[in-house]
């Protein structure tokens, strides 16, 4: 796996200017690439679109539908029996009532299981750095020059600077995954005190 440092810019012009700064600082063209990253949720990683194979909120829909259907069938059958006993209704009424009850129960069960409006994913996202949209300038670096690359990107106006491990092939980040969490690079030196780090975060 290769060590990669990347910065995100608003426009291609800003990203190209940052790349030129990297070349001036001694980085070679084969170790620098830039590309556009779509907004979260719009990466079209699947044929049907989107970033995930299934909506996390819909994970319990089938289970809820099955449970609701069973309950609805019982309730519907009970209503059918009551109608059959009270009004001497045909046996078909009992069957239809059970079927309608199962349908309504499955629908209500699925809706109940998927309710929440995305609250669970929001709580999870709050714990991670979500990658924003923009033009990413990625640099193939070594442990010795990664700090230099991060500094150049930051001075060029990068919205954020991150570090990642990936596969660098033919001058590009071959296995880039836009849905992975961002690992920000702390702009303060590794030996800085806790108070110095806190001041640096406050300045940014």
Domain boundary among the residues 98, 122, 146 is at 122
Residue 50 lies in a domain: no
Q: Predicted confidence band at 161 (pLDDT cuts at 50, 70, 90)?
A: very high
Domain boundary among the residues 122, 151, 177 is at 122
Residue 73 lies in a domain: yes
| pLDDT at residue 47 in the model | 47
Interior CA angle at 145 toward 150 and 161, to 5°?
15
Secondary structure (H, E, C), the chain: CEEEEEEEECCHHHHHHHHHHHHHCCCCHHHEEEEEECCCCCCCCCCCCCCCCCCHHHCCHHHHHHHHHHHHHHHHHHHHHHHHHHHCCCHHHHHHHHHHHHHHHHHHHHHHHHCCCCHHHHHHHCCCCCCCCEEEEEEEECCCCHHHHHHHHHHCCCCCEEEEEECEECCEECCCCCCCCCCECCCCCCCCCHHHHHHHHHHC
Pair (88, 189) in one structural domain: no
**In the chain, how many domains are there?**
2
Range among 57-66, 112-121, 183-192 with highest mean pLDDT value: 183-192
Residue 51 lies in a domain: no
Residue 80 lies in a domain: yes
Give the pLDDT mean for 169-187: 89
Pair (198, 139) in one structural domain: yes
| pLDDT at residue 150 in the model | 96
Give the domain CATH number at 9: 3.30.70.120
Residue 65 lies in a domain: yes
| pLDDT at residue 197 in the model | 45
Pair (137, 184) in one structural domain: yes
Pair (168, 67) in one structural domain: no
Each residue of 114-150: pLDDT tens digit? 555 444 444 444 445 577 899 999 999 999 999 999 9
Give the pLDDT mean for 49-62: 52
Pair (171, 135) in one structural domain: yes
Domain that holds residue 110: 56-122
Residue 88 lies in a domain: yes
Instruction: Name the pTM for this structure.
Output: 0.54
Residue 151 lies in a domain: yes
Pair (134, 199) in one structural domain: yes
- pLDDT of residue 69 exceeding 80, the answer is no
Of the two residues 196 and 59, the one the predictor is more confident about is: 59
Mean residue pLDDT across the chain: 73
Domain boundary among the residues 122, 146, 167 is at 122
């Amino acid at each position: 796996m290769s060590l990669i440092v990347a910065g995100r810019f608003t426009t291609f012009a800003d990203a190209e200017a940052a790349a030129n700064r990297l070349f001036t600082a001694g980085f070679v063209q084969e170790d620098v690439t830039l590309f556009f990253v779509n907004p979260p949720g719009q990466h079209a990683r699947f044929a049907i679109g989107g970033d995930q194979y299934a909506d996390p909120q819909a994970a319990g829909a089938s289970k809820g539908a099955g449970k609701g259907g069973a309950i609805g069938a019982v309730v519907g059958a009970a209503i059918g029996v009551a109608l059959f006993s009270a009004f001497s209704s045909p046996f078909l009424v009992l069957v239809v009532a059970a079927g309608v009850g199962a349908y309504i129960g499955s629908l209500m069960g699925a809706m109940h299981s998927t309710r929440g409006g995305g609250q669970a994913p929001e709580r999870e996202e709050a714990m991670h750095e979500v990658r924003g949209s923009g033009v990413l300038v990625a640099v193939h670096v070594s442990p010795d020059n990664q700090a230099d690359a991060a500094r150049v990107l930051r001075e060029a106006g990068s919205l954020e600077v991150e570090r990642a491990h990936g596969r660098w092939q033919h001058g590009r980040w071959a296995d880039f995954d836009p849905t992975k969490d961002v690992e920000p690079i702390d702009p303060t030196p590794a030996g800085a005190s806790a108070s110095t780090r806190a001041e640096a975060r406050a300045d940014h």
